[in-house]
Amino acid sequence: MFRLIGVVLMLLFMSPVLFATGLSEEEQLWLQQHPVIHFAPAPYYPPVEYFDESGTYRGITADFVELMSQRLDIKLTVKQLPSWQHVVEGAKSGYVDVWGAAAYTEERDRYMDFTQPYIRLPAVLVVRKEQHGPLNMRDLQGKRVVLIKNYASAEYVKETYPGFDYIEVPDLETGLRMVSYSLADAIVATNAAALFYIERDGLSNLRVAGESGYEWQLRFAVREEYAPLLGIIQKGLDLISEDEKREIYRRWINLESSEPIISTEQLFQLGLLAGLALMVLVFVWNRTLSRKVLLQTWALNAELEERKSLERNLRRLATTDELTGIMNRRQLFSTLRGELKRSERYGEVISLLMFDVDRFKEVNDRYGHVSGDLVLQSIVDTCTNELREHDLFGRIGGEEFAIALLQADEETAIAVAQRLCDLVAACQIELPDGERLQTSISVGVVFADNHTNLEELLSCCDRAMYAAKRKGRNRVECFNWRSPELLV
């Protein structure tokens, strides 16, 4: 009997973590074999998670991570990356092992495993106060709606409500300012994060008008190669009590306060100061009026100039491709529709080119996404130098681009396309490691020839481009209107 008690005491002494956390021996062994686990939060997603001015990781998820680290004796190496896009790419490349506050999507499920949700936040619609009454997504038909790029809410909204006029921006702060400055009509965002920015940035003309129908169910996510870590983190979440969770939420999402905003004593002091200020103002009014007006005028002009500069930057974000600096898909198609109407009215000719970078996926897989971005930028620079100032050039998705040659007939368009094809093929692209890479493009051409339906022209141009790919790539094919099944 005493021997049995001794054995039990010895096991308790030797394996305190096992009994305290419920981790299996296999899980403890896995943690010992993986002493460094790279954890990359969303860089600035308050109050869920963010890095403050000193670079300290803070927020709801940070508090959950701290409690789990204490309970499981697990150490996560926090990585501060520039944007959520870099966090996503880091997980795909194996540089990042864990996300802290991610929503499940089918696309992410291909390379990440997810815990059960531990934060639920509704996605709301934020509009200017001049738009009255409650709103839902269907009320925004025909309006400009801002979505945050690579967010799960953006994928949900685009799939559920196709055909809306969407503008994708890199972060919530940019989107809220676009709505505040009337560059867009609404934005889909989490209630807590939107209120944080509205209060911090003084965007007092914005309000929450309703819900989008989407709810962020935020989870920890682990890349598939680290599958055992998923169960460990889930056990850590399960060890956090409901009282502890409520305390964390109260700390970061405190929607009500029992304390008055201004105390009676503070109000009395403010009254005294206001009275004194009024007496001083009356005393010096006549002598300082001109100077005051001058200073106010200067301040107003400075504020207006700052606002104009910010609006110009926001317009640029809304109309240009972030990577290459040329038109984005939305701006290109909008401008091209106007040019097609103008060509129909005045009898002018337009030709459309569409090209795709050959074997671009192989470049990304072999050299990485940073090198892939350099390839796209180099190709765009090469083409831009050859095009005329009034030609339209835009990125329509991934490695696919479109060019509208204004006042150019079919023969001219084919010659331009072939010249671009030859220049790209001859270009030596220097990668970050010093290696030089050559690539090529496949180009499809269509001459508008009195056809003004943009979707029809894009479809024909797309057929010509894929015919060029089938015939060996690095070549030009032209759509034949008289025999659509044949290509010139």
> Average pLDDT per run of 10 along the chain, which is 488 residues long?
44 42 84 91 86 90 91 88 88 91 88 91 90 90 89 87 88 88 91 83 89 87 92 91 87 52 55 75 67 74 76 78 92 92 88 96 91 95 94 94 94 96 95 91 92 90 94 94 61
Out of 1.10.3720.10, 3.40.190.10, 3.40.50.10490, 3.40.50.300, the CATH code matching 119-218 is 3.40.190.10
- Tokens representing 8 are 């039990």
pLDDT of residue 290: 65
Q: What gap in Å lies between CA 292 and CA 124, rounded to an integer?
A: 43
Phi, psi of 230 (to 5 degrees): -60, -50
Contact 385, 329 (CB under 8 A): no
pLDDT of residue 386: 94
Cα 453 to Cα 252, 341, 425: the distances in Å are 52, 9, 32
Examine domains 15-118+220-252 and 329-478 and report if their fold is the same: no
Q: Residues near 100 by Cβ (< 8 Å), separated by ≥ 6?
A: 39, 41, 42, 49, 61, 62, 64, 65, 220
**Any idea where the domains of the chain sit in the sequence?**
15-118+220-252, 119-218, 260-306, 329-478
The structure tokens 């055992």 sit at: 228
Q: What gap in Å lies between CA 195 and CA 216, rounded to an integer?
A: 16
Closest CA to 471 of 421, 423, 428: 421
Q: What is the DSSP letter of 180?
A: H
The pLDDT tens digits for 257-268 are 333 334 455 556
pLDDT of residue 287: 65
Q: What gap in Å lies between CA 335 and CA 441, rounded to an integer?
A: 24
pLDDT of residue 268: 64
Reduced to 3 states (helix: H, G, I; strand: E, B; else coil), residue 336 is helix
Q: What gap in Å lies between CA 281 and CA 275, rounded to an integer?
A: 10
Q: What gap in Å lies between CA 226 and CA 483, rounded to an integer?
A: 55
Query: pTM score > 0.85 for this model?
Result: no
Per DSSP, the chain holds a count of helices (H) and strands (E) of 16, 19
Q: Which fold has domain 329-478?
A: Alpha-Beta Plaits (3.30.70)
Closest CA to 39 of 86, 65, 72, 77: 77
Q: Which fold has domain 15-118+220-252?
A: D-Maltodextrin-Binding Protein; domain 2 (3.40.190)
pLDDT of residue 283: 66
The residues that bridge with 353 in the sheet, in sequence order, are 403, 445
Q: What gap in Å lies between CA 137 and CA 250, rounded to an integer?
A: 30
